[in-house]
């Protein structure tokens, strides 16, 4: 029940098999304890997010108490000015700031960032503080 977030770096089976069972077991633990199910942040690639949403809609409700955070939205991007010139030191993430703050608050983290990994298509690394 203390699990606040999970991170899946890419779609290889050894990194994501069991995700749905984990989500369901966590929800069951809350219900068994007679508590409201707390939100779970699931940090995943956009491709795996699509799979989870499809599974949720067509097969079994698994995201009712979950918030998907796409790895792609946690990459820092250099901001450009109106002339498409890089603004020194000014980098932004695409994630909704309110969602990011909720995730950081729930996990006790100060920063969270991803970058692409040279491993397979749609693979990411995660850095946190």
23-54 pLDDT per residue, tens: 999 999 999 999 999 999 999 999 999 999 99
Whether residue 119 contacts residue 10, with contact meaning beta carbons closer than 8 Å, is answered with yes
DSSP-assigned letter for residue 39: P
pLDDT at 16: 78
The helix or strand, by DSSP H or E, that contains position 56, with its residue range, turns out to be: helix 46-58
pLDDT at 108: 96
Q: Let me know how long the chain is.
A: 129
Given a cut of 90, whether residue 12 has pLDDT beyond it is no
pLDDT bucket at 77, cuts 50 / 70 / 90 = confident
The helix/strand/coil state of 122 is: coil
pLDDT bucket at 88, cuts 50 / 70 / 90 = low
Given a cut of 70, whether residue 117 has pLDDT beyond it is yes
DSSP-assigned letter for residue 95: S
pTM for the predicted model, two decimal places: 0.86
Q: Print the domain residue range for 69.
A: 5-128
pLDDT at 65: 97
Q: Which two tokens stand for residue 44?
A: 């995943």
Tally of domains in the chain: 1
Average pLDDT, the chain: 90
């Amino acid at each position: 029940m203390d699990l606040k977030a999970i991170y899946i770096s890419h779609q290889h089976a050894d990194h994501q098999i069991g995700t749905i069972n984990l989500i369901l077991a966590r929800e069951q633990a809350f219900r068994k304890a007679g508590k409201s199910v707390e939100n779970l942040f699931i940090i995943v690639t956009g491709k795996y997010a699509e799979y989870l949403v499809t599974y949720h809609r067509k097969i079994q409700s698994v995201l009712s108490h979950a918030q998907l955070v796409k790895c792609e939205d946690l990459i820092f991007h250099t901001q450009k000015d109106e002339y498409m010139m890089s603004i020194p030191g000014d980098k932004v993430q695409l994630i909704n700031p309110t969602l990011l703050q909720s995730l950081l608050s729930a996990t006790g983290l100060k920063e969270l960032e991803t970058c692409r990994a040279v491993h397979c298509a749609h693979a990411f690394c995660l850095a946190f503080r």
